[in-house]
């Protein structure tokens, strides 16, 4: 009876070792998946922040062209055809969130008249680097985000002196906001740009 007991124990030991090894593998695998998911979420946060930063920068850059179009009533032409420049800010926000623009095509501006878009692609700086995932030491999370800069107002203008130069523009914007701009003495762009233009993320 003693001999049989020792034999059974000897046979059970390899099974026990395999089971423990399997459990350890599962633990490391779950840890790797969790880390990859966290890195993916971080990359998405970086992409969102970078896209919004680029869109906000583009909105600030609209000031000169927007105001210059008013006196001769060329606002519609400006809205339909204007440069969208804002990608400089994208890298700064991506970097602040431990990511970089994924070049080429890291930041692309897509003019669209009343609704411009900026699409950003980023890659995280930290690799997954798991012993149970071959090649993960070089695998980084990637994500993309798209922000829009949307003109949200209708307008009328007045030529007080009948000299073909518009003296006052009255804007009616979403949410019932009213805005008056005199081309000869416009208010600070920082005060009116967020009323004229909305910046937000959209699905890619």
Q: Which two tokens stand for residue 64?
A: 């000169």
pLDDT tens per residue across span 126-142 = 876 555 555 556 678 89
Quote the pTM value.
Answer: 0.80
Contact status, residue 86 vs residue 116, Cβ threshold 8 Å: no
The strand order across the sheet containing 168-173 reads: 153-158, 168-173, 177-181
1 confidence band (pLDDT: 50, 70, 90): very low
What pLDDT does residue 133 have?
53
CA–CA separation, 120 vs 104, rounded Å? 11
Mean pLDDT computed over every residue of the chain: 86
Contact status, residue 124 vs residue 46, Cβ threshold 8 Å: yes
More confident residue, 76 or 6: 76
């Amino acid at each position: 009876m003693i001999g049989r007991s020792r034999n059974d124990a000897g046979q059970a030991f390899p099974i026990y070792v395999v089971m423990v090894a399997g459990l350890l593998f599962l633990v490391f695998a779950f840890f790797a998946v969790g880390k990859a998911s966290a890195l993916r979420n971080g990359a998405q946060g970086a992409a969102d922040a970078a896209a919004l930063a680029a869109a906000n920068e583009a909105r600030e850059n609209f000031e000169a062209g927007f105001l210059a179009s008013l006196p001769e009533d060329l606002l519609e032409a400006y809205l339909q055809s204007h440069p969208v420049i804002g990608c400089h800010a994208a890298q700064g926000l991506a970097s602040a969130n431990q990511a970089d623009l994924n070049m080429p095509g890291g930041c692309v501006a897509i003019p669209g008249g009343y609704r411009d878009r900026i699409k950003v692609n980023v890659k995280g700086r930290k690799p997954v680097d798991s012993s149970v995932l071959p090649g993960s030491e070089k695998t980084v999370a990637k994500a993309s985000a798209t922000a829009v800069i949307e003109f949200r107002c209708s307008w009328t203008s007045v030529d007080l002196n009948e000299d073909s130069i518009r003296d006052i523009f009255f804007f009616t914007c979403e949410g019932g906001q009213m805005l008056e701009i005199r081309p000869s003495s416009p208010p600070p762009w920082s005060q009116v740009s967020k009323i004229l233009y909305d910046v937000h993320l959209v699905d890619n």
